[in-house]
Amino acid sequence: MKRKIRNFISYLKTNYNYLKHKEVKPSHLFYGQMQPARAVEMLSTLNEQIEKFQSQFGEEQFVFVEIGSYLGESLKLYGNNINKKLKNYLVISIDPYSPDAIHEGNKIVDLINTPKKMKISVHQSKPWSSPAETKKIITKIYHYFINNISNYSFKDKHMHLRMKSENGFFLLKKLNIKIDFCYIDGSHYYEGIKNDYNNFNSILRKDESYEGCICGDDYELDLDKIKDYFDYSKEQFLEFLMNNKNVDYIVLNTKNGVNKKNRIGFHPATTLFFSETQDTIIKSESGFWKKDKT
């Protein structure tokens, strides 16, 4: 009941602010999910890249790309920070805001498939952005996103591509745009994360002494650390991941016991993809990841 009241208040505030063209923070539509620890890591990674860029290219244009923007929370964090540090920059966001993109044309089924021999203990939970829920509200989210961005400091150096990241990639490639910083937080399905990483990695700005940064969200579980959580071999867990590479998010009870403290929530497609890539990926507790360039 309390939640219903909170949601109703958030709904009223959102509509009032939207009518006044002010920033909206609809917590009833999952605004406010950014963990402080993740925000710190996101900004320190960005600032490190900006410093490298400035020492190499001085006043040239810094190009930032975000894949998956939702209500614009992470874009606000990045964009306002870039605006403080640089004069010459371009912020590009890519998100189709389409019900079709959420379930990829209904190909995706959010049913967890557990091989019988593994006796995996799934905690049935509702993720904050369950695809079924997001599908219903995504068009409204787009209007709130545009409203919010037009209130931020970087609004006149921002461009939104309302399309799937794959099409955004083809467009940027055709225009020969090279990226200095790419943040991936779009599709949570295997083909999606794999294509985003490989595509956008291929159009980072690179020369002998400089390389653009590629990073993202949703890497909570590293396959190499599986023994810390479960009594399964890496091969067994890999089979579980492959069976579930088109499931958005899974919460499992670990070997340490069935209670809240011992659960781990993760995106199986991200764990699977990063177990396959040849690149070294640095991950943090919050699920933030970046490609190691050293």
Cβ distance to ligand SAM smaller for residue 1 or 175: 175
Q: Which of residues 62-81 bind ligand SAM (CB under 6 A)?
A: 67-71, 73-74
Q: Is 213 in the site for ligand SAM (CB under 6 A)?
A: no
Smallest distance from ligand SAM to CB 210, Å: 26
- The number of C-alpha atoms within 13 Å of 211 and in the hemisphere containing its C-beta is 12
Smallest distance from ligand SAM to CB 189, Å: 8
Residue written as tokens 């930032």? 64
**What is the dihedral sign for C-alpha 55, 57, 59, 65?**
negative
- For the beta carbon of residue 64, count every other beta carbon within 10 angstroms: 28
Q: Which of residues 40-59 bind ligand SAM (CB under 6 A)?
A: none
**Contact letters for ligand SAM, residues 150-169 (x by CB under 6 A):** --------------xx----
What DSSP letter does each residue of 32-58 carry, written as one string? ----HHHHHHHHHHHHHHHHHHHHHHT
Q: Which of residues 256-285 bind ligand SAM (CB under 6 A)?
A: none
**Contact letters for ligand SAM, residues 113-132 (x by CB under 6 A):** ----------------x---
| C-alpha Rg value of the chain to the nearest Å | 20
How far is it, in rounded angstroms, from Cα 222 to Cα 255?
A: 16
Cβ distance to ligand SAM smaller for residue 215 or 226: 215
User: Which residues have C-beta within 8 Å of that of residue 272, sequence separation ≥ 6?
Assistant: 190, 223, 238, 241, 242, 245
Q: Is 205 in the site for ligand SAM (CB under 6 A)?
A: no
Q: Is 212 in the site for ligand SAM (CB under 6 A)?
A: no
Query: In the complex, which residues of this chain contact ligand SAM (CB under 6 A)?
Result: 34, 67-71, 73-74, 94-97, 101, 129, 138, 164-165, 185-187, 192
